[in-house]
């Protein structure tokens, strides 16, 4: 019995010693947080980091659950990965991997800024023309900040991203003004009144080179208001009229017919009935 008491006493004293040691370590001046080293970022500044995580200087760096703080920062739409490291004695290092704005999708008067994987990074009422292309005519089904935007044709959107990357290193790129995604086709408007229409079955590298040759030939012959069509592999042809111009004309005609039909129906309803 005495031996058991001695063992218990020894364990108890050890725990007390460890507890006192931990308390001393937690309040050691040498382990007080003095420096935050954050990767250069326009979204995660030192001020934002402190406010979001409640990590402040002159607190012991051992007192923070870094995994919980990483989870808070990872919830930011622009942050893909984050790692917080303790650099003893008094520094926290924050490593970031950010998502980049890759395209802009107009939606109900707003603009959805998405990354390469269609993650929604921000929503704005306006945008300034820049490097990110504007993808028009996309039917958005569902979206939530920090989650992928769901469209009616994700396959065509991803094809457009591939086409954009291939076009960005070609001589066609400077003359592109707008991208339209209509049904299963990518329509590219240029500032020379020549539309380019791509189908998803094409060989992009070959088609872009061939399209550039056709485009330059059209300019040499001073031909405008035409469309360069490439819907299938190794097959390109030219049609009169721009694709978007003809589409708008068809929409205008359909609207005019609809208004005429409604007008006739209204007149019939208002016409007084004849005598029996």
**pTM for this structure?**
0.77
Residue 266, pLDDT > 80, answer no
Indicate whether 60 and 71 sit together in one domain. yes
Indicate whether 105 and 94 sit together in one domain. no
Indicate whether 186 and 259 sit together in one domain. yes
Indicate whether 175 and 204 sit together in one domain. yes
Among 47, 97, 45, 53, smallest CA distance to 71 is for 53
Domain CATH for 70:
3.10.20.310
Residue 1: inside a domain: no
Q: What is the pLDDT of residues 3-28, one digit of tens each?
A: 555 554 454 444 443 443 344 444 45
Q: What is the pLDDT of residues 69-96, one digit of tens each?
A: 999 999 999 999 999 999 988 899 999 9
**Number of domains into which the chain is organized:** 3
Residue 5: inside a domain: no
Q: What is the pLDDT of residues 168-190, one digit of tens each?
A: 999 999 999 889 999 899 999 99
| Host domain of residue 257 | 153-263
Residue 276: inside a domain: no
pLDDT band at 234 (very low <50, low <70, confident <90, very high): confident
Q: What is the pLDDT of residues 113-143, one digit of tens each?
A: 999 999 999 999 887 755 788 999 999 999 9
Residue 93: inside a domain: yes
């Amino acid at each position: 019995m005495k031996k058991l008491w001695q063992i218990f006493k020894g364990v108890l004293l050890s725990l007390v010693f460890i507890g006192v040691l931990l308390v001393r370590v937690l309040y050691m001046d040498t382990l007080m947080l003095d420096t935050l080293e954050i990767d250069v970022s326009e979204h995660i500044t030192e001020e934002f980091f402190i406010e979001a995580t409640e990590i402040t200087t002159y607190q012991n760096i051992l007192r923070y659950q870094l995994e919980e703080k990483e989870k808070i920062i990872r919830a930011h739409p622009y942050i893909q990965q984050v790692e917080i490291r303790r650099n003893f004695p008094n520094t926290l290092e924050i490593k970031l991997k950010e998502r980049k704005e890759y395209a802009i999708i107009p939606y109900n008067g707003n603009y959805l800024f998405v990354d390469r994987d269609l993650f929604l990074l921000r929503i704005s009422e306006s945008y300034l023309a820049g490097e990110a292309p504007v993808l028009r005519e996309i039917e958005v089904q569902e979206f939530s900040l920090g989650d992928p935007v769901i469209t009616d044709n994700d396959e065509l959107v991803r094809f457009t991203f591939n086409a954009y990357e291939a076009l960005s290193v070609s001589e066609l790129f400077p003359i592109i003004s707008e991208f339209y995604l209509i049904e299963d086709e990518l329509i590219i408007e240029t500032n020379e009144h020549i539309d380019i229409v791509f189908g998803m079955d094409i060989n992009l590298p070959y088609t872009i080179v061939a399209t550039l040759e056709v485009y330059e030939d059209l300019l040499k012959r001073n031909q405008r208001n035409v469309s360069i069509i490439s819907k299938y592999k190794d097959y390109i042809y030219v049609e009169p009229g721009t694709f978007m111009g003809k589409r708008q004309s068809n929409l205008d005609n359909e609207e005019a017919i609809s208004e005429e039909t409604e007008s006739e129906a209204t007149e019939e309803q208002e016409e007084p009935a004849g005598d029996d």
